[in-house]
């Protein structure tokens, strides 16, 4: 990337129909195509990670991170009193797209979904194909019930491989998920073992709590201490309403009328890669491409950052960085 100053490096709050939208935008050329990143969670904005790790793309595209409604900067006590739904988040994402199209004089916007953001992304691409240039999925979520069945089998198998007696005991007490949900809602405990056993990040096998703690200094580049506390409340709020256990793109998203690119970690068991591959193989789209990252789990855009950025630039825009 050229070491030039960003022409645009903004934190924006826009208001559309009395609703606040919080956008983080960075670009070196306002005529470049626009890429909107849809974060995971639900309720886990990653503008800090995007600006740190993906700004190398700013010479070839304008990058935009959006704190989804009820998440991060978009959480407050007034929002807490309101209900949100998957459909409402999709509509809010479309509002962002309409704003970005007008603001940057673009006919279409590129969207990149990660994890939960892939649910929003696929539904957006289905409903508003004329507004989307390409859909890119990372950590592609496919089917809520199968997702947790495969994930649980992975962690229990790894616990036995390691002879982790404490892990085996706790996992067996929680038991296999029923219809994508765990006894006593112990999803955090399951995800903790997923992290420790390498099913989230391939090379960094830390507890989920260690990952969260290590991420706080980076978060402070975009959020104040007060906003971080609100961020945590926003995660709980989002999880309360945005239940994806019954999502099943194998049956409801057999066709997408925009180009589709999946950029997947080959060791991802958070959103199991095999489900994404199964969906992709049967998907009908104007064009489609599946790209594997062999040293990554759920987040190849960070785990293999340089390679991911180079591949994204070449695949999506046919440019080198």
Place of tokens 């007060």: 226
pLDDT averaged over every residue in the chain: 95
Q: What is the pLDDT of residue 1?
A: 43
pLDDT at 46: 95
Burial of 83 (0-12, 13-18, 19+ CB in 10 A): exposed
With a pLDDT cut of 70, the percent of the chain lying above it is 99
Q: Which two tokens stand for residue 220?
A: 């402070």
CA angle centred on 115, ends 195 and 119, rounded to 5°: 150
The Cα 63–Cα 113 span in angstroms is 13
Residue-range domain boundaries for the chain? 8-145+224-317
Residue 202 CA to residue 37 CA, distance in Å, equals 23
The C-alpha atoms of residue 146 and residue 138 are separated, in whole angstroms, by 18
**pLDDT on residue 212:** 75
Confidence band for 2, pLDDT divided at 50, 70 and 90:
very low
pLDDT digits (tens, 9 = 90+) for 186-234: 999 999 999 999 999 998 877 777 777 788 899 999 999 999 999 999 9
Query: Could you give phi then psi for residue 85, rounded to 5 degrees?
Result: -145, 170
Tokens 């309403």 correspond to what residue? Answer: 241
List, in order, residues 6 or more apart from 210 with CB less than 8 Å away.
none
Predicted local distance difference test score (pLDDT) of residue 292: 98
Report pTM: 0.95
Instruction: State the pLDDT at residue 4.
Output: 58
How much is the average pLDDT of 310-318?
A: 98
The domain made up of 8-145+224-317 is a member of CATH 3.40.50.1820: yes
Angle at 231 between CA 194 and CA 43, to 5 degrees: 55
pLDDT higher for 65 or 214?
65
Strand partners, 260: 135, 288
Per-residue pLDDT, 210: 74
**What's the mean pLDDT in 99-125?**
98
- CA neighbor of 48 nearest in space, from 30, 63, 59, 60: 63
Which letter does DSSP use for residue 84 in this model?
A: -
CB 89 within 8 A of CB 41: no
Res 89: pLDDT: 98
Q: How confident is the model at residue 150 (pLDDT cuts 50, 70, 90)?
A: very high
- Residue found under tokens 């539904």: 123
Q: Could you read off the pLDDT of 244-281 as tens digits, one per residue?
A: 999 999 999 999 999 999 999 999 999 999 999 999 99
């Amino acid at each position: 990337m050229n070491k030039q100053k960003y022409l645009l490096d903004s934190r924006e709050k826009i208001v559309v129909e009395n609703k606040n939208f919080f956008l983080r935008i960075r670009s070196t050329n306002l005529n470049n195509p626009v890429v909107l990143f849809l974060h995971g969670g639900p309720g886990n904005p990653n503008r800090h990670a995007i600006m740190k790790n993906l700004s190398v793309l700013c010479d070839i595209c304008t990058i935009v991170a959006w704190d989804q409604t009820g998440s991060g900067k978009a959480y407050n006590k007034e929002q807490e009193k309101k209900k949100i739904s998957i459909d409402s988040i999709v509509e809010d994402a479309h509002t962002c797209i309409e704003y970005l199209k007008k603001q940057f004089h673009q006919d279409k916007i590129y969207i990149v979904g990660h994890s939960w953001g892939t649910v929003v992304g696929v539904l957006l691409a289905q409903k508003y194909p004329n507004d989307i240039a390409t859909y890119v999925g990372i950590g592609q979520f496919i089917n809520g019930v199968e997702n947790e069945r495969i994930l649980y089998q992975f962690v229990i198998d790894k616990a036995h491989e390691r002879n982790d007696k404490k892990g085996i005991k706790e996992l067996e007490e929680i038991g296999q998920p029923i219809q994508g949900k765990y006894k006593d809602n112990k999803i955090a405990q399951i995800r903790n073992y997923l992290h420790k056993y390498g099913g989230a990040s391939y090379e960094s096998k830390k507890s989920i709590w260690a990952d969260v703690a290590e991420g706080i200094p980076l978060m402070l580049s975009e959020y104040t201490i007060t906003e971080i506390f609100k961020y945590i409340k926003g995660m709980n709020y989002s999880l309360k309403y945005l239940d994806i256990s019954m999502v099943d793109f194998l049956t409801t998203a057999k066709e997408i009328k925009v180009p589709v690119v999946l950029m997947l970690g080959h060791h991802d068991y958070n959103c199991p890669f095999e489900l994404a591959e199964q969906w992709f193989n049967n998907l009908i789209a104007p064009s489609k491409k599946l790209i594997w990252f062999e040293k990554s789990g759920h987040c190849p855009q960070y785990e293999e950052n340089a390679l991911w950025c180079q591949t994204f630039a070449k695949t999506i825009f046919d440019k080198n960085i």
